[in-house]
Structure 1
């Protein structure tokens, strides 16, 4: 229990920090509800000219995907990629390096807390989905169980991607521009808004070789009974990305720790 105490402390910090800015959090809930409502209207308008499914998906699936995709992204993508950068610039990174747990572990614990703090987003997203009539139960009981497992793996992939980008601040000291480009690519390639099955073949291939789809599209495709390559393959790819991204973070940190420059403090 003593060994877990520092981790729980960092997770608690991550959980409470977003709620220190309650107006911002409440505004994000409103934005999510508006997004879901608008996407519901847009998808129904797109399908109004079609009598049958498009790319194997009917209008209920398309709207349900938007509801669940925006909700999942609203929870898992809450960890800020500039967290390490701000601490490098302020000099607080020096304090982090003296703590009894490693920097990567600290940040993953904080990011976990931030995801926990964002869990009310689920109630907002699914509640709005019920109001607009856009979310049906999982394709099957097996799909529901697979979705739960895939969502847990997606959490690992999402947090490691964020941590990997954060570590680049040891070289750039400023990840704002890179972060903006990263956000656009991540949102699109993860399938958070547009399902990969609607994309052209070449774009599906490109998205398939990037880790972003394992953070959002894979659990959603499992939920709707369309896991790429089958359930076992889809979960295996997610697990593989966790190993690869974890190794990349460890390697990058082994180089970054020799470049620590305290800017302030």
Structure 2
């Protein structure tokens, strides 16, 4: 990548970072929402475990509460939805301008999404701070688990952003994606394990979640943090890496088809 393309890419990241903070009230409210979620889930999990003396599905109450704290925080950072997303650009007719830029649309979009994730990083302090306030987050199982967690987070970032990108590309086939986004958000939240650990789900539902990429974006890194990587650490990281490659290839394929639709609409 040339220096010019690097500067252009970083400018898109900067746009993604500045855009959400131009609406400071909304961003601050989102931080409050995360803190409230963490506190409420801690209260609920403790109430659920109140009648149990031992662990459930291998997780005791401290692990269940800690999972909720970390899962909500990770999802709040990685699952951000850019305001300048592809669907809004298509709907407003600005996609033509994007296509004339020196950067490809996929690179532009991923750069802006990265900026949004960076802008959401204060959520980490809020989420973990709320978790410490309610006594709901314990240190990782060991230093190696902490390192593996960080590696897994990088892969989870790739999976999450590619999923968001693919969702945005659907707007080339339907200009009104509100209903699709709502359904997608529900499925993504549930099957990613951001609020409910997959180990609490029945076997058949765990199999469904394991066959989809969502769990690689939240459940896998959080499970690794608590020393419970699905299928073992090597397999867990391998599955995440697989989904990064598979989703990237799928995004390129979908975009190659979408470009023809841009020509048709513009013709």
Question: What TM-score comes out, normalization by structure 2 length?
Answer: 0.97
Structure 2 equivalent of residue 11 of structure 1: 13
1:145-164: CA deviation from partner (whole Å, max 9, x where unpaired)? 00000000000000000000
Give the conservation status (yes or no) of the 8 Å contact 2:46–2:61.
Answer: yes
Between the two proteins, the alignment pairs up a number of residues equal to 264
Residue 91 of structure 1 and its aligned partner are, at CA, apart by 1.1
Structure 1 equivalent of residue 34 of structure 2: 32
Q: Which runs of 5+ in 1 are unaligned?
A: none
Structure 2 equivalent of residue 167 of structure 1: 169
CA–CA distance in structure 1, aligned partners of residues 166 and 5 of structure 2:
25
Structure 2 equivalent of residue 93 of structure 1: 95
Change (3 A) 1:96 1:107: same
Question: What TM-score comes out, normalization by structure 1 length?
Answer: 0.97
SS in 2 for 1:164: helix
SS in 2 for 1:2: helix
Structure 2 equivalent of residue 188 of structure 1: 190
User: Which of 252, 255, 260 pairs up with 2:254?
Assistant: 252
Structure 2 equivalent of residue 76 of structure 1: 78
Structure 2 equivalent of residue 21 of structure 1: 23
1:98-154: CA deviation from partner (whole Å, max 9, x where unpaired)? 000100000000000100010000000000001000000001111100000000000
CA–CA distance in structure 1, aligned partners of residues 261 and 192 of structure 2:
32
Matches within 5 A, 1:57-206: 57-80=59-82, 83-206=85-208
Give the alignment's Cα RMSD to 1 decimal: 1.4
CA–CA distance in structure 2, aligned partners of residues 81 and 17 of structure 1:
8
SS in 2 for 1:4: helix
SS in 2 for 1:168: helix
Q: Which runs of 4+ in 1 moved over 6 A?
A: 261-264
Change (3 A) 1:152 1:201: same
Residue 23 of structure 1 and its aligned partner are, at CA, apart by 0.5
CA–CA distance in structure 2, aligned partners of residues 27 and 263 of structure 1:
38
CA–CA distance in structure 1, aligned partners of residues 84 and 171 of structure 2:
8
Ranked by relative contact order (alpha carbons within 8 Å, sequence separation 6 or more), the top structure is 1
